[in-house]
A = this chain, B = another copy of it.
Amino acid sequence: MGSLPLEAMMPLDPETFAGESGAVVGFLADYYRNVDKYPVMANPEPGSIRKLLPDAAPELGESMDRILDDVQRDILPGLTHWQSPSFFAYFPANASSAGFAGEMLSAGLNVVPFVWTASPVATELEQVVVDWMASLLGLPERFHFKGGGGGVLHGSTCEAVVCTLAAARDRALSKLGHEGILKLVVYASDQTHATFQKGASIVGIPPANFRILRTSAESGYGLTADTVQRAVEEDVARGLVPLYLCATIGTTGLGAIDRVRELGHVARRYGTWLHIDAAYAGSAAICPEFQGNLDGAELADSVSMNPHKWLLTNMDCCCLWVANPTTMTDALSTDPEYLRNVGGASKMTTDTIDYKDWQIALSRRFRAIKLWVVLRRYGTAGMRAHIRRHIRMAEWFERVVAADERFEVVVPRSFSLVCFRLRPRFMEDKAVESLNRELLVAVNASGRAFMTHFVVDGKFVIRLAVGGSMTEMRHVRGAWELIKEKANELLAGC
């Protein structure tokens, strides 16, 4: 595996491919064996890796062995280890053997299924797996291809939001004319992911027309129909057009749940597009006991969730379903000469779709094979077990936090996310905030776990999001021991 003679360069020679890929598999298996030995959150001096590497790409090729040695020495120590069993930050990003196998098939076959002809089975497999996923989540028939809707695999929720916003916008502008863009208003809660506001900005909604509606502890920080109704009425009275409402199942900060059915009734009344963002918690909906959160989904225009978070599917994979695909393809279609199908066109049916018209980009990866391998390898039963296992761990963690009088659970747990803080009785609010900041810094600096935070009603809360592929009960127990240890040290100094 030394440097290559230039003229003989055969970049897909099967023997070289097998040898070098095998070496990477071994490298990664070893990484998984040892991932819990690295500090979970990396904290290098900024710029240190840039100082370490040369200014230019090498003139001559180097061996894969040498490159892997450098990954080991220079790269691994500077990564934050999302696959560590003690990674409890943000939301999980599950890797799995099946997700990896699917990703390898996607990357190895390396087809680009932007139109049906460019890889027919890749397009059709995607239609099959998004229908499978829709069934698994218990989504209404109208989001299935067989029910007149349909789904697509994107890379991220933001892309799903941009595409559906563009669809809703163009549907509205077809009646209002383009100058109507200044009247379009979008609605979300103060718990909705920042991605939504960014998406609205990307599609040209005036910043003055983003409504960020207040939520409160009474509704568990879920958006209520009353709040939306009032905001919409005010806007309509001012001659504005209520375009799009984003409801979230399992917000990023707290795991809050917007009530889809009641929001759906308001949206229907005003012809407002209702999107359900279930990026994180949508995975839980494969278990019947969590499908109630999607009650009323038949009132929505679109739904999205990310198997790349908590459903064993390596980055990236976001399912988006729409009830009326034509609305989306009207906004996103192109038909350049160089992509037209010559010869096969007569065979096309209304079932034959070109996924380039369901997304932002023209090019796309064969993500469907990845999700298909995951669903087949683990089966519905295996995936439900995966979700329930983490929920049980989070339940346990919530229980022990609640039982320790120095701590409090700040909002009731949803799914596998626990939001808590250290709350010594004797301490003032201001001091409590800095105490928890210090606690989080100490926990993360230990290298033994990584958690992130949120601020709600002025309270600084620590988030423990369970869901790693390798996270077992002992790691959650370890996190609790670590938190208590650091809390003790801090309280001893008070």
Contacts and interface: CB of A to CB of B under 8 A. Distances in A.
A220 interface: no
Contacts of A418: none
Interface string A354-366: 0000001111110
22 contacts: A7-B385, A9-B386, A12-B95, A15-B29, A24-B105, A41-B117, A42-B119, A46-B120, A60-B382, A61-B377, A61-B379, A78-B121, A79-B109, A79-B121, A80-B120, A100-B104, A103-B107, A104-B107, A107-B315, A193-B362, A194-B334, A194-B336
A402 interface: no
A13 interface: yes
A98 interface: yes
A59 B127 CA distance: 19
A92 to B, nearest CB: 10
B124 A111 contact: no
A205 B90 CA distance: 35
Interface stretch (A260-268, A337-345, A407-415): A337-345
Given A60-B381, A112-B82, A207-B178, A101 B470 contact: no
Q: Report whether over half of chain A's contact residues are helix, strand or loop; otherwise say mixed.
A: helix
A441 B343 contact: yes
A120 to B, nearest CB: 5
A490 to B, nearest CB: 14
Interface in A221-273: 252-253
Nearest to A169: B204
A357 B342 CA distance: 41
A483 to B, nearest CB: 15
Q: Which of A16, A120, A351 is most buried by chain B, counting CB atoms within 10 A of its CB?
A: A120
Nearest to A51: B124
Interface in A5-56: 6-7, 9-18, 20-33, 41-50, 53, 55-56
A93 interface: yes
A51 to B, nearest CB: 9
Contacts of A124: 46-50, 78
Residue among A109, A337, A469 with most chain B CB within 10 A: A109
Contacts of A373: 67
Interface stretch (A158-166, A291-299, A393-401, A423-431): A158-166
Contacts of A403: none
Interface string A281-317: 0000000000000000000000000101000101110
A156 to B, nearest CB: 4
Contacts of A377: 61-62, 64, 67
A207 B50 CA distance: 43
Contact of A178 (B30, B108, B182): B182
A213 interface: no
A203 interface: yes
Contacts of A53: 125, 128
A312 B429 CA distance: 57
A381 B61 contact: yes
